[in-house]
Structure 1
Amino acid sequence: MSNQVPIKAAKVAHEIVELLRELGGARVSEVAEQMDMPTSTAHDYLRTLEQEEYLVKEGSLYQISTRYLQLGEQARLRRKAFEVTKPEIDELAEKTGEHANLMIEEHGRGVFLYKARGSVAVQLDTHAGMRVPLQTTALGKSMMAHRPREEVEAILDRHGMPKVTESTITSREALFDELDQIRERGYAYDDEERVKGMRCIAAPIIGENERAIAAVSVSGPKSRMRKERYTEEVPELVLSSANVVEVNLTYS
């Protein structure tokens, strides 16, 4: 029995699902062309995924089924942090008028788990399930600051330090210096490091063994995130929310 991973058929099936997500649905011929495989093979994959209820067929068009919503919801609900943190995120958005976010780390990337939009929040690309390099966000940096250095090094070895804007940290030395500051300060800044013109303040949610299990943040335009609001008011709100979540996680 072979121990080789990943199993090719499973990998291809997931790639087809991702393709359908990106295209918003596709016909057999389109999948075959995009995946560079015979039409008959593409048809077999699509029919199997349909029979297992992961896809639906409308006419000649295959689309992702609502089963993924169910799976995604179950995965999210399994994370206790989501249930406990959601009210705090909603309150942060209401108090600040900006975007408030919850992020976890998964496979070395930051995953937005939940986002609430305040009354004056600008339009952003973030959404639940979105994955980003950890070092490009205050959320990611706040979590890395409370993880063992060897774990952070392994993440950087695996994913690198992609430059997203002119302000993105791309030096390991600079990153680890900043992680030291974050531990001392208690919260992290993102000054146009993922989105030009946007600033973000995040605090980690600390679980057992002083390890960050998630992070909460508030992000807004640089024009509004200035002076005391950026250095005192919003950091205090974010730290308070993170603390409430930690207590609720301990006793819920």
Structure 2
Amino acid sequence: MNVQNSVVPALERALNIIEYIAAHSEPVTLKQITTDLCIPSASAFRLIKNLVSRGYVSENSGAHMTYSLGSKFMSIASAYERNSSLHLAAKPVMLSLASQLGQTVQLGIWKNGVLIYIDQAFSSAPLSVTAPLYEPVSINTSASAKITLPLLPEEERTNAIDACDFRRLTDNTITDKTVFMEEVRKSHEQGYGFDNEEFAVGIGCLAVPIYDNVKNCIGSLGITGSIQAYQKEDMFQHMLSVLREASSRITQNLIQ
């Protein structure tokens, strides 16, 4: 078969538009798309309208209509992650952990230089904390960031810290880089990260690293809930012990 002859022009253009939008950090205009991709305006407009209707592209109203990637890619990314080995190894452990501790459980990874949560499991507790998935996490408010940052390659760690704006979300948020780095160092020594109402008032989070079979950190396992549970030393130590055991079970699931 001649591969060149099997290319569908409309599909090729639609994929080029998606890749073009994805390559830009800011929304783009129709004129940018037609000029840079050499697509006739009428054709580009029809293709974009179809992509918008399917959720692959999002329209942004303003002085000029602009376009960015749509929410469909989040569901596609979610489906991809669900089939990843880490997700498959972690999911049953997360469900059990949420039930056992009455906390929301989050699975975090570093991807393209940012920390994101790729899955979570909920308990039946009255207070159920939900974290946005596949969105960059503010590292200065994150227990997962505190424990995984020291385990990143040096360049990736430096870039992540330099990119942080250290924005204040609560009175407890760490907004000073030096203070944050000391907290990261302490977390590394302790073997866990703790968010003490730094992201949201009344909410605490405890996180530990997840390792593969050769002790490379491949993610984080965190629990989130009412700060009251984390303020009781015996409860804190119990949750930490259970969390560490859960992380080890994920590692075992990965190598089975």
Q: Give the partner amino acid of 1:47.
A: K
Give the Cα separation in 1 of the matches to 2:140 and 2:216.
17
Give the Cα separation in 2 of the matches to 1:211 and 1:155.
19
1:235 to 222, 225, 240: 240
Matched, 1:189 2:210: no
Give the Cα separation in 1 of the matches to 2:173 and 2:122.
24
Matched, 1:93 2:92: no
Once the two structures are superposed, the pairs formed by residues 47-126 of structure 1 within 5 Å of their partners are 47=49, 49=51, 54=56, 68=73, 71-77=76-82, 79-126=84-131
Please identify runs of 4+ aligned residues in structure 1 that moved more than 6 A. Answer: 39-42
Give the Cα separation in 1 of the matches to 2:226 and 2:165.
27
SS of 1:233 mapped into structure 2: helix
- Displacement of 1:72 after TM fit? 2.1
Q: Deviations over 1:68-123 (max 9, x none)?
A: 46622442135321110111111110001121111111233221111111121514
SS of 1:145 mapped into structure 2: helix
Give the Cα separation in 2 of the matches to 1:66 and 1:151.
27
Contact kept, 8 Å, 1:93 with 1:100, in 2: the verdict is: yes
Contact kept, 8 Å, 2:147 with 2:207, in 1: the verdict is: yes
SS of 2:124 mapped into structure 1: coil
Contact kept, 8 Å, 1:146 with 1:210, in 2: the verdict is: no
Once the two structures are superposed, the pairs formed by residues 1-252 of structure 1 within 5 Å of their partners are 10=18, 13-14=21-22, 43-44=45-46, 46-47=48-49, 49=51, 54=56, 68=73, 71-77=76-82, 79-207=84-212, 210-249=215-254, 251-252=255-256
Q: Deviations over 1:188-247 (max 9, x none)?
A: 111011111111110011237644211011111112322134530111111111111122
Give the Cα separation in 1 of the matches to 2:95 and 2:120.
8
Kindly report the root-mean-square deviation, in angstroms, between the aligned alpha carbons of the 2 structures.
3.7
Q: Give the partner amino acid of 1:194.
A: F
TM-score, with length taken from structure 2: 0.71
Contact kept, 8 Å, 2:103 with 2:224, in 1: the verdict is: yes
SS of 2:229 mapped into structure 1: coil
Q: Deviations over 1:117-168 (max 9, x none)?
A: 1121514341332331223111121111322444222112233323222212
Contact kept, 8 Å, 1:186 with 1:239, in 2: the verdict is: no
Give the Cα separation in 2 of the matches to 1:104 and 1:148.
14
Indicate the larger mover: 239-248 or 174-183.
174-183
Q: Judging changes above 3 Å, is the alpha-carbon distance between structure 1 residues 227 and 14 closer, same or farther for their aligned structure 2 residues?
A: same
Contact kept, 8 Å, 1:115 with 1:127, in 2: the verdict is: no
Q: Judging changes above 3 Å, is the alpha-carbon distance between structure 1 residues 120 and 156 closer, same or farther for their aligned structure 2 residues?
A: same
Contact kept, 8 Å, 2:195 with 2:206, in 1: the verdict is: yes
Matched-pair identity in %: 20
Give unmatched runs, 5+ long, in structure 1: 1-7, 20-30, 33-38, 57-63
